């Protein structure tokens, strides 16, 4: 039995060595797995090390759309440690490992499955290290991180009709086509970014030479289980297949075509007797290659302009992680609620009923890949505004409400070889509060990141 186990282990290691050989070019190893014949497996990912310096103590590696800590306590009553203390982090938690399993096309049908993991999980009861003794140590949070599932889905394609079943990017904003060219761990403030379990159908056809039109719809994991209904999404995207430019973000590089996309979502909620509103949101995204790639592959001397506009109610904290504007969520212990609603989606209004938080946001950025293709630089700006905070402004809560967040950045990427990337970013995150003593709170971030890509 031991001999058989050793042989199995040796065979597995041989497959991994073969897959990672040949000068780090992507290689495919075909092996038999169970009853699946001719299954190919591709292993991919990267080892990432982040060095981050913030001028406040309000963020971990991901900034999300969280509020910047005030410099003093609300109303000016004494100092606020996190708003006046610098923070330094060194982390490998965003390192990633993925497996793509594929079958050869047969009878017009092709199939693949993807399982992708990182180490950004947290199994401790307290998600902010250092805030409570014994709950979570900084050592374990950063040095012994928990494995987290990013993607886990089945993809079936039959002559242009595509189906996805499992955890994948949100269709709202046609993620990840329009992600900004940033070095920081996404999402950054005021950015659509979400992965969840879903069942999606999409169809693509060519309305004219050099163009593709995509239509997609899905039923997704609801924002609130007790809503009793899945969350529907739908979208249209028109894109050029000839006018392309490089988009560099984090560890990834993709060629994005001249395109315009629209998408929307409904967000059903349910409480016992304090209201059961349905959120709704729409997004418009665009990409314009101002200097296109000469052949659709070469990123040398590429310039791209991208942007996004989002408006709706009930999307904060869900499609935009951390976006609450300071409004607390609804606890299941709230009288007549019967069920919890996560913060950022809805809160208790002045009448004691559940009300959706209305918001509007936009972002835009320019990215230029220099001649030679090894360097890329980008600059961008984003902001999000709450539209109905007056509906939640109790005397106690009012000073901590934040009607606006703003974010700007400069980033640079350098790839000396195909398997190595250095990235750096300087950004500023500003929160506007309703507190006269703390009208503005600002965090400046300085980050340097190394990627070993495989």
Write down the pLDDT at residue 445.
Answer: 98
Cα–Cα dist 128/131, whole Å: 6
Residue 37's Cβ-count burial label (10 Å; 0-12, 13-18, 19+) is exposed
Same domain, 131 and 5: no
Assess whether pLDDT exceeds 90 at residue 30: no
Give pLDDT, residue 148.
95
| Average pLDDT for 337-353 | 95
- 2-16, 152-166, 231-245, 259-273, range with the lowest pLDDT: 2-16
Q: Is the pLDDT of residue 7 over 50?
A: no
Contacts 24+ apart (CB under 8 A), 130-137: none
Asked if residue 28 and residue 38 are part of one domain, the reply reads no
pLDDT of residue 343: 94
Residue whose token pair is 């606006």: 404
What domain range is 221 assigned to? 34-453
Tell me: do 47 and 173 sit in the same domain. Answer: yes
pTM higher than 0.85: yes
**Model confidence at 159: pLDDT above 90:** no
Give φ, ψ of 38 to 5 degrees. 60, 30
With a cut of 80, say whether residue 442 has pLDDT above it: yes
Bridge-based pairing of strands 358-369 and 36-54 is: unpaired
**CATH number, domain containing residue 415:** 2.40.160.10
List the structure tokens of 365: 């950025």
Lowest mean pLDDT among 24-38, 64-78, 289-303: 24-38
> What percent of the chain has a predicted confidence (pLDDT) above 70?
89
17 and 115 assigned to the same domain: no
Residue 422: band (very low, low, confident or very high) from pLDDT cuts 50, 70, 90: very high
Average pLDDT over residues 1-10: 42
* pLDDT score at 202: 98
Q: Is the pLDDT of residue 142 over 50?
A: yes
Q: Is the pLDDT of residue 131 over 60?
A: no
Looking at residue 419, its pLDDT comes to 97
CA distances from 270 to 227, 274, 336, 340 (A): 5, 9, 11, 9
pLDDT at 14: 41
pLDDT of res. 151 = 98
Q: How far apart are CA 451 and CA 422, in angstroms?
A: 6
Whether the pLDDT of residue 17 is over 70: the answer is: no
127 with 24, same domain?
no
Query: Mean pLDDT across the stretch 393-422?
Result: 95
Of the ranges 115-119, 139-143, 203-207, 363-367, which one carries the lowest mean pLDDT score? 139-143
What's the residue count for the chain? 454
Q: Look over the chain and give the mean of its residue pLDDT values, rounded to a whole number.
A: 90
**91's tokens:** 């982390």
Q: What is the mean pLDDT of residues 361-376?
A: 98
Shared domain for 2 and 129, answered yes or no, is: no
Asked if residues 62 and 93 have their Cβ atoms less than 8 Å apart, the reply is no
- What pLDDT, on a 0 to 100 scale, did the predictor assign at position 330? 95
How far is it, in rounded angstroms, from Cα 310 to Cα 413? 28
Residues 206 and 295 in one domain: yes
66 and 110 part of one domain: yes
> Structurally, how many domains does the chain consist of?
2
Q: Which of 47, 131, 46 is nearest to 87 (CA)?
A: 131
Q: Do residues 56 and 132 share a domain?
A: yes
Least confident of 49-53, 79-83, 261-265, 304-308: 79-83
Residue 12 has pLDDT above 70, yes or no: no
Higher pLDDT, 32 or 285: 285
Segment 286-300, tens digit of pLDDT: 999 999 999 999 999
Residues 221 and 132 in one domain: yes
- Which two structure tokens, joined as six digits, stand for 54? 């913030």
- The answer on pLDDT for 15 being more than 80 is no
My answer on whether 170 and 133 are in the same domain is yes
Give the separation between CA 68 and CA 65, rounded to whole angstroms. 9
10 and 79 co-located in one domain: no
């Amino acid at each position: 039995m031991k001999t058989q186990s050793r042989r199995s282990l040796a065979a597995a290691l041989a497959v991994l060595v073969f897959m990672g050989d040949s000068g780090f070019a992507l290689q495919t190893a075909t092996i038999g797995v169970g009853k699946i014949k001719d299954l190919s497996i591709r292993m991919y990912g990267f080892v990432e090390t982040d060095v981050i310096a913030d001028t406040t103590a309000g963020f971990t590696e991901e900034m999300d759309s969280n509020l910047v800590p005030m410099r003093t306590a609300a109303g000016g009553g004494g100092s606020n440690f996190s708003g006046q203390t610098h923070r330094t982090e060194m982390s490998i938690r965003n390192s990633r490992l993925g497996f793509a399993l594929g079958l050869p096309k047969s009878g017009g049908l092709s199939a693949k499955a993807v399982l992708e993991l990182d180490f950004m999980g947290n199994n401790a009861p307290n998600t902010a290290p250092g805030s409570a003794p014994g709950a979570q140590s900084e050592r374990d949070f950063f040095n012994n991180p928990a494995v987290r599932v990013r993607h886990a889905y089945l993809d079936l394609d039959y002559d242009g009709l595509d189906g996805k079943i499992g955890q994948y990017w949100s269709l709202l904003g046609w993620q990840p086509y329009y992600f900004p060219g940033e070095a920081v761990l996404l999402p950054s403030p005021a950015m659509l970014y979400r992965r969840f379990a879903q069942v999606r159908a999409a169809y693509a056809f060519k309305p004219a030479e050099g163009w593709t039109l995509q239509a997609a719809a899905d039923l997704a994991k609801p924002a609130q289980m007790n809503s009793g209904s899945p969350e529907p999404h739908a979208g249209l995207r028109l894109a050029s297949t000839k006018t392309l430019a490089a988009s560099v973000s984090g560890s990834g590089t993709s060629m994005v075509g001249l395109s315009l996309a629209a998408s929307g979502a409904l967000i059903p909620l349910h409480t016992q007797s304090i209201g059961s509103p349905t959120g709704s949101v729409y997004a418009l995204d665009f990409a314009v290659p101002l200097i296109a790639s000469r052949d659709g592959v070469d990123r040398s001397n590429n310039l791209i302009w991208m942007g996004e506009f989002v408006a709706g109610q009930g999307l904060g904290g869900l499609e935009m992680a951390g976006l609450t504007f300071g409004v607390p969520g609804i606890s299941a212990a709230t009288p007549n609620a019967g069920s919890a609603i996560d913060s950022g989606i809805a809160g208790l209004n002045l009448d004691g009923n559940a009300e959706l938080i209305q918001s509007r946001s936009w972002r835009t950025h320019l990215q230029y890949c220099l001649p030679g293709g090894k360097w890329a630089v980008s600059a961008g700006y984003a902001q999000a505004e709450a539209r109905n905070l007056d509906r939640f402004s109790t005397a106690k809560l009012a000073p901590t409400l934040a009607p606006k967040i703003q974010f700007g950045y400069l980033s640079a990427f350098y790839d000396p070889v195909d398997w190595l990337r250095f990235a750096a970013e300087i950004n500023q995150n500003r929160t506007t509060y309703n507190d006269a003593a703390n009208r503005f709170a600002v965090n400046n971030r300085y980050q340097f990141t190394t990627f070993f890509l495989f």
